[in-house]
């Protein structure tokens, strides 16, 4: 019987990484958090302002849950692909994630490969030259559970 005897890890937190906003961008500055740790967030919420060499852009999230941990501080330069925040999805223990009790929080300092674009600049924000802030959509990647890895393998 496939999957028998496997332990389910339950829900896993989603990581939000520093997006690559241009072909030449290798790092960005987290200017300001728009949400605080512990805030409930919905898909599409603006969570932070990111500065590149050309502009400051607002970043949106793809996940709904609780902003469990902010891994980058305001004013900090962060490499593209590095984890800047961790989102606790439904059923997860926010305090355990903050204390490093999840796999995502433990590896948060390790940079993630930037092979897949982590963000997209919204066209409407680019079309308005007098607006100093554009909107960026960032993808948070959920860490797969052991059950998922076995089922897919």
pTM value surpassing 0.75: no
Per-residue pLDDT tens digits for 117-146: 444 444 444 444 444 455 555 555 555 545
* Per-residue model confidence (pLDDT) at position 67: 92
Per-residue pLDDT tens digits for 28-49: 999 999 999 999 999 999 999 9
Instruction: Give dist(CA 146, CA 138) in Å, integer.
Output: 25
Confidence tier at 2 by pLDDT (50, 70, 90):
very low
Q: DSSP secondary-structure letter at 94? A: H
Confidence tier at 116 by pLDDT (50, 70, 90):
very low
Per-residue pLDDT tens digits for 4-37: 444 445 567 889 999 998 888 899 999 999 999 9
Domains and CATH numbers, the chain: 14-146 (2.40.50.100)
Per-residue pLDDT tens digits for 56-111: 999 999 889 999 899 999 999 999 999 999 998 877 777 777 777 444 434 344 34
Element (H, E) at 148: helix 146-152
Percent with pLDDT over 70 in the chain: 58
Beta bridge partners of 28: 78
Kindly state the tokens that stand for 3: 């999957």
Instruction: Give dist(CA 68, CA 80) in Å, integer.
Output: 21
Sheet containing 27-33: order of strands: 77-79, 27-33, 46-51, 56-61, 133-138, 119-121
- DSSP structure string for 10-40: ---PEEEE----STT--EEEEEEESS-TT-E
Mean pLDDT of the chain: 72
């Amino acid at each position: 019987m496939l999957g028998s005897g496997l332990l389910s890890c339950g829900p896993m937190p989603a990581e939000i990484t520093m997006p690559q906003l241009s072909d030449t961008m290798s790092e960005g500055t987290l200017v300001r958090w728009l949400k605080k740790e512990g805030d409930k967030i919905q898909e599409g919420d603006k969570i932070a302002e990111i500065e590149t060499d050309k502009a400051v852009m607002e970043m949106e999230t793809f996940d709904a849950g609780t902003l469990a941990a902010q891994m980058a501080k305001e004013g900090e330069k962060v490499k593209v692909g590095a984890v800047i925040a961790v989102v606790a999805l439904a059923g997860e223990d926010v305090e355990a994630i903050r204390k490093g009790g999840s796999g995502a929080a433990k590896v948060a300092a390790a940079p993630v490969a930037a092979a897949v674009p982590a963000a997209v600049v919204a066209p409407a924000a680019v079309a308005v030259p007098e607006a100093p802030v554009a909107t960026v959509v960032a993808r948070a990647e959920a860490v797969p559970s052991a059950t998922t890895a076995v089922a897919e393998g």
